Amino acid sequence: MPSFDVVCEIDMQEVDNAVNQVKKEITTRFDFKNTHASIEIADDHSIDIAGPDNNKIDVITEILRAKMVRRNLEPKSLEYGDMEGASGGTKRQKVTIKKGIDSELAKKIVKRIKDEKMKVQAAIQGDQVRVTGKKRDDLQEVMALLRGMDVDRPLSFTNFRD
């Protein structure tokens, strides 16, 4: 019986490459000269941005979005935290990278599939949703339906079995 998994994965190597490109651009841009602006990937798979003021942090986040789009990463996978004060009168912001499908989103996906009355079954399995059906065409219709959904993170389809 054909099936596939709906997951939310992001390639951390590509995120690392995008952050490194942002670092290079910060060091070469004139408006960041002699400012202590920085961007780093933390151990908990989040991105720490530091800068002298809110405007510089906003510029860094815009550069990060542009670099992620260029590397075929979804900017929706980033969740921006509040700006907070740091030592020396600087500001910092924590950007978390969304991974996996939480239970609320999984329930929303299963409900949407059932509301469309498609001839498939959807089951929540941890941080992914498995969709099975009798025909490959039905599964492709579900993929098209899920691509059209408005969700807060990028969905991808893996483990397609015929």
How far is residue 58's CA from residue 114's CA, in Å, rounded to a whole number?
A: 41
Instruction: Give the integer Cα–Cα distance in Å for 81 and 92.
Output: 10
Question: Per CATH, is 3-8+100-161 categorized as 3.30.70.270?
Answer: no
pLDDT tens per residue across span 23-36: 999 999 898 888 88
pLDDT digits 0-9 by tens, 122-148: 888 888 888 888 888 888 888 888 888
pLDDT, residue 19, reads 92
Answer for the pair 90, 51: CB distance below 8 angstroms, yes or no.
yes
pTM of the model: 0.79
pLDDT for position 20 = 93
Q: What is 12-97's CATH topology?
A: Alpha-Beta Plaits (3.30.70)
Name the segment(s) of the chain with CATH classification 3.30.70.860. 3-8+100-161
